[in-house]
Amino acid sequence: MTGFAISSYGTFLNMVALNLYVYAVTGRALAVGVFMAVRLAAGFVAGLAAGAMLARWSPKSVMLWANVAQAAAMLFLILAPDGLHTVSLSVVSAVAGFCGTVFMVALRSSVPDIVGDERKNWANSFMVSGRSLAMVAGFASSGVVVSLLGYTAAFLVDMATFLVCALTVALLPLALSPVGRGDGESLENGEHGEAVGDDGGAEDVGRRSRRRFLSRFVALGAAPALALMVLLRGVDALGSSSHNAALPVYSTEFDADNPAVFVSVFWCVWALGNILVQQVLQRYTRRTERTVGALGFGLGTIAMSGAFILAFAGLPWAATIAIALVAGAADGLTEVSYTSHLQTLPGPVRTHAFGTSATVENLGFGVGMIVVAAALDSFTALSVVGVAHGVAIAVALVFVVRLLRQRGVAEAESESTSAENSGDRKGADDAGPACGGRRDGAEVSGS
């Protein structure tokens, strides 16, 4: 978590510094949008490729070299001559988008292997708290670092944070084998475990890898609730793009003299709510041995989207700050419940689920930024955010209704089976969160 938080700090610091640098070099606001688009496009591709990469290389290796590659890209930007500024910026944007997404997929899918299934919810909360603190520190210090020390210093700090994260990954006692190899599935084995002779060659291995890649996506599609959950995550990303783009516009209308103060306070309070809810979740898990599960993700998305809509309703300062606290808490709840739920999937499927999720999230955020930026020229911030987050609320309601209906069916079947067997069945504790059990199992998603 320490290495992840440090690299997150560098990422958020660089989000401000790099955007300012792009504008300083090109002199065009359009260039900032283009480089952001390159970053999102690279993240989209990374989500598609992450599962295949983790099937060929170990998560530890992927996380290590993802950080090293980002540090090398920053060094290239620092050392690039004046004539290669545009090229170096493009490389940094692409590498940051691709490697950042691959790193997150590898990290999230590896948490159960690092800490064990029984502690994954604690670990997820721990990482979300660290990322929230890093976001506040990165945004808060970016202006000071750039103003007092310059762009080169900001880029050097960012490079150093990636190297620190790479060092912490190198120290992890994590198995050096691709995902799924521990389950009897390796690049040297066939689909049913048959040995492949030396004459099979790399071509046969490649065909089998592609078959496994496609079969796992088919498996994800065969679980409608899981597919709907990933879709909701993408719609949520679209909603996030709306409040990220609309917040500077709204803050100027809200406090024309000090718009930056409003934005800074809003995100600081949001992060505080995010951190506080992690403490509540950890205590809840320890005390009840239960998790909020997929149902918590759906309800949290509704609460979060509703809070962000109210934040743009022109309410007094104190009310808006309280709403930001609620939005941060709900955002933290959805992050942990969503990540923990996908981590209950088997290792090989889990990596592809996180990769698919990353692709959908990047697509939702990227499309949202384009649509929202155009809409803000014609409509108010409240109406734009209301529509974007309203869509998220609608999809979340469908998801929650589906889970509750599934729980009713499961409870009815459980009661029927219990009556037939005279109460001998003891599986209630393993029925998953939507059935009142203790596990945040993938059973909720129909797997």
Q: Which helix or strand (DSSP H or E) is residue 27 part of?
A: none
CB 180 within 8 A of CB 84: no
Residue-wise pLDDT tens digits, 90-139: 899 899 989 999 999 999 888 888 888 778 888 888 888 888 888 888 87
pLDDT at 30: 62
The rounded distance, in Å, linking the Cα atoms of 40 and 365 is 8
Single out the residue of 334, 303, 296, 301 nearest to residue 440, CA to CA: 296
pLDDT under 50: residue ranges of the chain? 182-202, 205, 219, 222, 426-447
Task: Supply the DSSP symbol for 428.
Answer: G
Question: Which helix (DSSP H) or strand (DSSP E) does residue 198 occupy?
Answer: none
Tell me whether residue 130 is exposed, middle or buried, using C-beta atoms within 10 angstroms of its C-beta: 0 to 12, 13 to 18, 19 or more.
Answer: buried
Give, in degrees to the nearest 5, the angle at Cα 202 between 196 and 208. 65
Quick one: residue 164, left, alpha or beta (phi over 0 = left, psi -120 to 50 = alpha)? alpha
- What is the distance in angstroms between the CA of the first residue and the CA of the last residue of the chain? 30
For 295-351, what is each residue's pLDDT tens digit?
889 999 999 999 999 999 988 888 988 999 999 999 989 988 888 888 887 766 787
Q: Where are the alpha helices (DSSP H) in 171-223?
A: 201-221
Position 70 scores a pLDDT of: 93
The CATH class for the domain spanning 1-179 reads mainly alpha
Which residues are paired to 195 by β-bridges?
A: 189
> Tens digits of per-residue pLDDT, 347-372?
667 877 888 888 888 888 888 877 88
Under CATH, which architecture does the 215-420+430-447 domain have? Answer: Up-down Bundle (1.20)
The pLDDT of residue 439:
42
Q: Outline which parts of the chain fall under CATH 1.20.1250.20.
A: 1-179, 215-420+430-447
β-sheet bridge partners, residue 222:
none
Do 110 and 343 touch, CB atoms closer than 8 A?
no
